Structure 1
Amino acid sequence: MRMLVTRPEPDTQATMDRLAALDISAIGAPVMTRQTLEAHFPPIIGFAAMALTSTNALRALEDMDLLPQLLGLKVFAVGDRTAHEARLAGFGDVVSAEGTLDSLVTTIALARLEGPVLYPAGRHLSGDMARALAPHGLMVVTVPVYEMVAEERLPEAAREALAGGEIGGVLVYSRRTAEIFAALAATCLSDEQKRALPMLCLSENVAAPLLANHFSRVLLSDHPSEEAMMALALAFAREQTGS
């Protein structure tokens, strides 16, 4: 049983390490690379909180040396992992949502903030937080601070393993990752191989582009979190090996 991890670095290696601890062999095949953008931040004074939908935003803020002036803000994180990374970065007041943009919007709306929300985000957004929070009387200032750039080709080791039927499952964590993987894998997989390849996905939203591209063997985690993905990977590996 070998699995393919499609996350960007450094998350690829972190997930591979967790899989190794479960005695699951894995190959890294990041389909995107993070690039920090030249962002023009508004004055920090006046913001009631900051929203985070990815640890990549924290990494970009660190690259830009902006973290020190932001540490006084209350942070609303999309999930436990992002919340954990925010605390490690020095933020003292951190609230975690349930792993989706909808749950984050609900959490922020219920907080009844008295001021705008700063949202350092990626260039490619999966949802419009500003529009979602507007009916609640909250203004969101979205500042793109990073971009996830698609790779043009899967690593050769991953291509060979996929084509040779050596991959027992592919871990996919975002919708855009799914879209890019489907395009890149089309060059080394037949339609029959795509239909047979198990795709372990964080959510239905993540899985949608794969189903549209004829990857029909899709498994979903119980919750949009790394812990749930590891539980899914372990259960699937045990089922396949009979252990």
Structure 2
Amino acid sequence: MGPVMRMIVTRPEPDAQASAERLAALGIEPILAPLLTRQNLSARLPPAEGFAALAVTSANALRSLAERPDFTGLLGIPLFAVGDRTAHEARQLGFSEVHAAQGTLDDLATLIALARPDGAVLYPCGKHLSGDLAHALAPQGLMVVTVPVYEMVAETQLPEPLARALSERTCGAVLHYSARTAQIFSALVAPHLPEPERRHLAMLCLSENVAAPLIETHFNRVMLADHPSEEAMMALALAFTREQTGP
């Protein structure tokens, strides 16, 4: 039996722990190094009665909503989630009508446009938006009220488990789920890792958009998931492991 494959998980908690458990089930040793931490914002939500639909592009938005005193008033609004995982989280929290798109903002905009909600769409989101849902739905004549309800705060120095794994060269790959964590990883790691080593360390990325900041800083050994989902990321991690260590 060859050495155990070790992989760094950069996504925030609690998702980092969930990914770590799935990696461990595949026989891969996870190294947890979240590069972002969720902090709730105190923005007031408009009254729920004014909305025909709720749009959600991340589980973090749902978690922040669930921690607000006015949360239960939202549970009866039809909810449109960016993908299956976010939809599952919404159902767990008690939303009565949940529709799941195929995983991207464009998919979500299409799903909402086809549903033709009879009124405005409430879009609780993060402070750092990667896409503009209001802009995407404007041609359909749909009004989107965008309310940032949380902020993902970046680490300003290398988390100790990540620094140790890099210095000991005991890590085979790094999992990246968002362009922002990829940017933070590049900024924190590139100064400590010579370019030849950057070219060697494998980057397993959710999408091309996620990979872009890594390629810019010469992390050139980039592999993309077949689909922007956790299932596809785990399939990629397993395929990479088998390629390196044999079945």
TM-score range, shorter chain: over 0.9
Q: Match for 1:168 among 172, 182, 187?
A: 172
**Correspondence for 2:87:** 83
**Correspondence for 1:33:** 37
Q: Which amino acid aligns with 2:234?
A: M
Task: Tell me the distance in 2 between the aligned counterparts of 1:79 and 1:162.
Answer: 33
Q: Which amino acid aligns with 1:87?
A: R
**Correspondence for 2:181:** 177
Q: Residue 46 of structure 1: CA displacement?
A: 2.4
> What do the CA deviations read for 1:197-223 (whole angstroms, capped 9, x no partner)?
100000011111111111100000000
**Correspondence for 1:123:** 127
1:153 aligns with 2:157: yes
Q: Residue 188 of structure 1: CA displacement?
A: 2.3
SS in 1 for 2:69: coil
Task: Tell me the distance in 2 between the aligned counterparts of 1:176 and 1:35.
Answer: 16
SS in 1 for 2:122: strand
What does 1:71-220 align with in structure 2 at a 5 Å threshold? Answer: 71-220=75-224
Q: Residue 18 of structure 1: CA displacement?
A: 0.6
SS in 2 for 1:184: helix
Q: Which amino acid aligns with 2:139?
A: P
Q: Match for 1:236 among 237, 240, 243?
A: 240
Task: Tell me the distance in 2 between the aligned counterparts of 1:181 and 1:209.
Answer: 9
Task: Tell me the distance in 1 between the aligned counterparts of 2:70 and 2:102.
Answer: 27
SS in 2 for 1:92: coil
Percent identity, aligned pairs only?
A: 65
Q: Which runs of 5+ in 2 are unaligned?
A: none
Q: Match for 2:15 among 11, 35, 46?
A: 11
1:54 aligns with 2:58: yes
Q: Residue 42 of structure 1: CA displacement?
A: 1.0
Task: Tell me the distance in 2 between the aligned counterparts of 1:12 and 1:113.
Answer: 34
Q: Residue 63 of structure 1: CA displacement?
A: 1.6
Task: Tell me the distance in 2 between the aligned counterparts of 1:92 and 1:236.
Answer: 39
Q: Residue 41 of structure 1: CA displacement?
A: 1.0
Q: Residue 66 of structure 1: CA displacement?
A: 2.9
SS in 2 for 1:205: helix
Q: Which runs of 4+ in 1 moved over 6 A?
A: none
Q: Which amino acid aligns with 1:220?
A: L
> Is 185-194 or 128-137 further displaced after alignment?
185-194
Q: Residue 164 of structure 1: CA displacement?
A: 2.4
Tell me how large the CA RMSD over aligned residues is.
0.9
Task: Tell me the distance in 1 between the aligned counterparts of 2:80 and 2:182.
Answer: 26
2:32/2:161 contact within 8 Å kept:
no
Task: Tell me the distance in 1 between the aligned counterparts of 2:225 and 2:31.
Answer: 20
> What do the CA deviations read for 1:135-175 (whole angstroms, capped 9, x no partner)?
00000000000000000112222112113221100000001
Task: Tell me the distance in 1 between the aligned counterparts of 2:96 and 2:244.
Answer: 43
Task: Tell me the distance in 2 between the aligned counterparts of 1:173 and 1:185.
Answer: 17
Q: Match for 1:24 among 17, 21, 28?
A: 28
